[in-house]
């Protein structure tokens, strides 16, 4: 029990505090006796400033009052007390073991979940890479086979999506203004993607997606581009047939 005494500390106040603490202990366990105490004193000088006393090493000064010769420092432990102590130690040990087992189980679960998430992420990345490679190799093959027909089919697919959804700007100065339709073209056997608002066309490996951080991402995150990609997938599948 910790006892806090407010105000000036006098012998009477200490006796009052001891009496109040003894009553609390007695209510909890009748017949108990108090042995040993740690008392922390805060002193103020005549000017009202707190100060402390230090020993020769500059450490806070400690005073220890020994028991008189023949006095008990603490009472002897009875057989019943020893039994209760051992029981308490056993219960504490069980609680500690249970807590450690629970913590270990939670750690193992977390590690297993992390491993599953890592494997799922790797599988997803592998699938994305495989899809990206298929798009790239299919695009390259179709450009080599009949670039003019392939690019024309791509542009028709994109234009059909634009004609169907008629996208317009939703923010700022472009709000309400029709969104320009992307156009594919050929340059040095490669596929170029251009938009009227761009300063220069961009070289792309396939007409739909890019790979970033192990994830496939469309050139534009919009409904009209999603519509265009659905149409372009048909172009790639149909054009790639023998």
* 116 domain-assigned: no
**pLDDT at res. 173:** 84
**pLDDT at res. 224:** 95
* 106 domain-assigned: no
Asked if residue 155 lies in contact with residue 183, where contact means CB atoms within 8 angstroms, the answer is yes
The DSSP 8-state label assigned to residue 32 in this structure reads -
The reply to whether 141 and 212 lie within a common domain is yes
Domain span holding position 144:
132-239
- Supply 66's token pair: 């020994």
* 154 domain-assigned: yes
Q: Is 239 exposed, middle or buried (0-12, 13-18, 19+ CB in 10 A)?
A: middle
The reply to whether 146 and 213 lie within a common domain is yes
**pLDDT at res. 133:** 94
The number of CA neighbours under 13 Å toward the Cβ of 161 is: 22
**pLDDT at res. 155:** 96
**pLDDT at res. 178:** 92
* Residue that finishes a domain, picked among 51, 76, 101: 76
The reply to whether 68 and 151 lie within a common domain is no
**pLDDT at res. 93:** 95
Q: Is the torsion defined by CA of 185, 187, 190, 196 positive or negative?
A: negative
- Supply 128's token pair: 């994305």
Neighbours of 110 (CB within 10 A): 10
Q: How far apart are CA 190 and CA 182, in angstroms?
A: 16
The reply to whether 72 and 148 lie within a common domain is no
* 142 domain-assigned: yes
Number of domains in the chain: 2
The pTM of the whole model exceeds 0.75: no
* 169 domain-assigned: yes
**CA distances to 11, 19, 207 from 14, in Å:** 5, 9, 87
Q: What is the pLDDT along the chain (242 residues), one digit of tens a residue?
A: 888 888 888 989 888 989 898 988 888 888 888 888 888 888 888 888 888 888 888 888 887 878 788 777 778 888 888 898 899 999 999 999 999 999 999 989 999 998 998 888 888 888 889 999 999 999 999 999 999 999 999 999 999 999 999 999 888 888 889 999 999 999 888 999 999 999 999 999 999 999 988 889 999 999 999 999 999 999 988 765 65
* 85 domain-assigned: no
* 141 domain-assigned: yes
* 82 domain-assigned: no
* Three-class secondary structure of residue 106 per DSSP: helix
């Amino acid at each position: 029990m910790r006892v806090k005494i407010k105000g000036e500390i006098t012998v009477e106040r200490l006796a009052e505090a001891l009496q109040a603490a003894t009553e609390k202990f007695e209510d909890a366990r009748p017949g108990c006796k108090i042995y040993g105490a740690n008392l922390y004193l805060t002193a103020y000088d005549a000017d009202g400033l707190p100060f402390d006393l230090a020993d020769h090493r500059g450490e806070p000064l400690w005073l220890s009052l020994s028991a008189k010769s023949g006095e008990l420092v603490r009472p002897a432990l009875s057989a019943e007390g020893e039994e209760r102590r051992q029981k308490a130690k056993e219960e504490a040990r069980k609680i500690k073991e249970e807590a450690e087992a629970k913590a270990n189980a939670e750690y193992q679960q977390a590690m297993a979940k992390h491993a599953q998430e890592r494997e799922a992420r790797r599988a997803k990345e592998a699938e994305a890479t495989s899809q990206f490679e298929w798009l790239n190799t299919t695009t390259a093959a179709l450009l080599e086979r009949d670039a003019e027909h392939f690019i024309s089919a791509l542009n028709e697919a994109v234009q059909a999506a634009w004609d169907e959804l008629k996208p317009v700007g939703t923010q700022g100065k472009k709000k309400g203004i029709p969104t320009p339709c992307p156009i594919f073209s050929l340059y040095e056997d490669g596929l170029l993607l251009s938009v009227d608002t761009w300063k220069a066309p961009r070289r792309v490996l396939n007409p739909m997606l890019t790979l970033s951080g192990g994830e496939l991402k469309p050139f534009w995150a919009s409904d009209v581009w999603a519509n265009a990609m659905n149409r372009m997938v048909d172009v790639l599948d149909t054009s790639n047939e023998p």
